[in-house]
Amino acid sequence: MEISRHAIRECAFQTLFALASDPEIDREAIYAERLGLKPDEEVPAYLPELVNGVLAHQDELDAQIESKLAPGWTLSRLARPDLVILRLALYELEYTQVPNAVAINEALRLAHDFSDEKSYRFINGVLGSIESEQN
């Protein structure tokens, strides 16, 4: 069964969100459940790459996000879904070969599905600001 990159990103978001609440959660079980994998099907390699990459670089990603926040704001004030979406998108922007436009578009799709309109605009602004610095 072919699993889309969007489905992989959505599963990565859900896994990272769950890990924020319970770092001991069984990632493989989340992967299999969210992707609807049969026992003989393998997890797409890009999924653990995203999850492990975000976790490994979380401090750097958070510092980058924090640098874009308004004065007086901290990461702890952000809605957890927004923070996870930003971490995931920044990881793709900084550490993968995914085109910037694709990483940003996918983050906005996740924001549309898991957040609200205000968060959507916030995420778009942060990622747009970071992308413009890269160019």
Output the pLDDT for position 2. 84
Chain center to CA of 69? 18
Domains and CATH numbers, the chain: 5-134 (1.10.940.10)
Q: What pLDDT is stored for residue 1 in this prediction?
A: 65
Specify the pLDDT at position 54: 98
**Residue 135 confidence (pLDDT):** 67
What are the 10-residue block averages of pLDDT along the chain, 135 residues in total? Answer: 91 97 94 92 96 98 93 92 97 95 96 93 92 78
Q: Where are the alpha helices (DSSP H) in the chain?
A: 5-21, 27-35, 46-56, 58-66, 80-95, 100-114, 117-134
Question: Among all chains, which residue has been given the structure tokens 């910037």?
Answer: 100
How far apart CA 30 and CA 96 sit, in angstroms, is 23
How far is the C-alpha of 32 from the C-alpha of 43, rounded, in Å?
7
